[in-house]
Amino acid sequence: MFQITLVGPTGVGKTSVLAAMYNELEYELNQIGCEFKPIGTTKRNIIERRSELEGLGKGQKSILTENVAIMGTAGSRQFDFELRIPVKRDGKQDLLTFPVRITDLPGAWYQGSDRGTEADKILTDSNCSFWVVDSTALMENISDEKETGEFHNIINDPETIYNSYQRAFQDKHEDHTIVMVLVRSESYVQKISKLYQKSMSWFEFCCRRCLPFLQKDCTKELKDRTKESKDRTKELYDKLNLGYARLLWKLYGQTNGISAFACHVETVGNLFFQDFELNQGKPQARFRRGTKSYTPKNGGLPLRITIKQILEKEKIKTHQTVTEKDTLSRWLYDVFIGRSDVNTPKEDLKAIETVLFYITNKLQKDKYVAFNPEKGGFVW
């Protein structure tokens, strides 16, 4: 069984990432006749949380952080899925099933709870983890004394989460992939719309014909807005380096086999940062809703990153005299099903390779970065 752990403080958006991930993967895999199927009570829980996410994209124009995060977990919750791939055996239609378990750990378990040992054990046993980070806390209210946002240490609590990783990896001897997932990132990663570009281009054309003295200002406005959208994304990853590169460097030095990646996920798609306000001493971000409705993006990206990275590691480790595709397919059986001696039929291999090819191609079009210790962190 392939095990993933969601890591992060209370209210940072872990459950939102889970709901967005399922929503996107379900649609993508259906395009090639496969399923990412929730098992048991997971189906009901995921549908409820997805409905909550969709509800966040509607209603009043201004909304507080406490209303942006969907209902989290008071205790550890396990969400079981099956990746189902259709295959023909002896002329009959059959299914290959690969179990996936995603564990959503309450942030309170890391923050002074007596359940910390249990959280460490779950993290140790997992194949990968999604370390969820609030983008607004990294980017906003930056002073001369602080390189990251004023409330970053309060909201994201990086030292506490790092300490849990450090304890969990003391006795870990297997490879582990960490994916840093930047949530609530809409304000920093969305490019200017095509409609805006067309409108400005048309306005520029009219100015050139009728009001030439305005043409220069119009052209400059369009270029500045385009450059600003690119610069803000780079700035987001620069702040991620300032807040986390030192901690990841320590983990790399402590344990072999760790790799880290970073990506941004828009779990709602139309919520944009407005300001911070203090509620009983606790910072809460206020967001404004955009003109579009619920439009999530990159929800399935963390899982695709994980699969691709582990497959690449397996290619390096194997020295068997079989083709690359056979090696990857047998590895999938070993990790997901737990049987390394399976003689996979050619029909099964072909079906698995189709999914692998699709995931790899899809990932090539996505935006994510790898952690490079030699270059000082994530290079956007």
pLDDT of the residue at 181: 94
pLDDT band at 314 (very low <50, low <70, confident <90, very high): low
Rounded mean pLDDT of the chain?
75
CATH code reported for the domain at 2-191+233-378: 3.40.50.300
Please give the share of the chain, as a percent, with pLDDT higher than 90. Answer: 8
Cα 298 to Cα 307: distance, rounded to the nearest angstrom: 15
pLDDT band at 307 (very low <50, low <70, confident <90, very high): confident
Cα 227 to Cα 247: distance, rounded to the nearest angstrom: 31
With 90 as the cut, is the pLDDT of residue 132 above it?
yes
Q: What is the pTM of this model?
A: 0.80
pLDDT of the residue at 330: 63
